[in-house]
Amino acid sequence: MSCIEHRSDEKHLQKIDLINQEEEKYLHDKDYNTFLIYEGNIPCEDCGGIEQRLVVKGDTTGIFRLTETYKNATEDGDATIVCSGQWKKIRQKNGDWLILSQGTLKDSARRMEYEFHLGELVQRSLDGEYFKNLGLYHLKLVRKSGSLE
């Protein structure tokens, strides 16, 4: 029985390693000189929470890669989804906002809005639905343009 559990852990670790390798390749793509990486945990109705890792490349517009790990989402444990698309920064009266569009900015399968704060993002909405308890939707800046925060 322990061999089966060991194999399961090994497969999970291999999957995480592959995701990390893909992210490093994504970071070093020459199309954009700057990037920011944010991480955090947000609530989930159907699982034990969602670990998010958001890579934003570019200055005021660009591309993004969002890795979401749904904790204990299946019988086998966690489920990881990676999506990508375009983003843009817009100025509002109350500060700067980050708009993520899975796909393109004009044609999106999923749209997310974040408010910029010092060293973090606060997710405000998902597909037009605004969150009531914003204290649960924070992503901290962990790395930018090759340096650790």
> Quick one: pLDDT at residue 38?
96
| pLDDT band at residue 8 under the 50/70/90 scheme | very low
Q: b/e for 98-116, b at 16 or more Cβ within 10 A? A: bbbbbeeeeebeebbbbbe
The model's pTM is 0.76
- Of residues 91, 135, 133, the one with CA closest to residue 116: 91
Backbone angles phi, psi at 69, to 5 degrees: -110, 115
pLDDT of 13-32, one tens digit each? 555 566 666 766 666 666 77
Q: Higher-confidence residue: 10 or 1?
A: 10
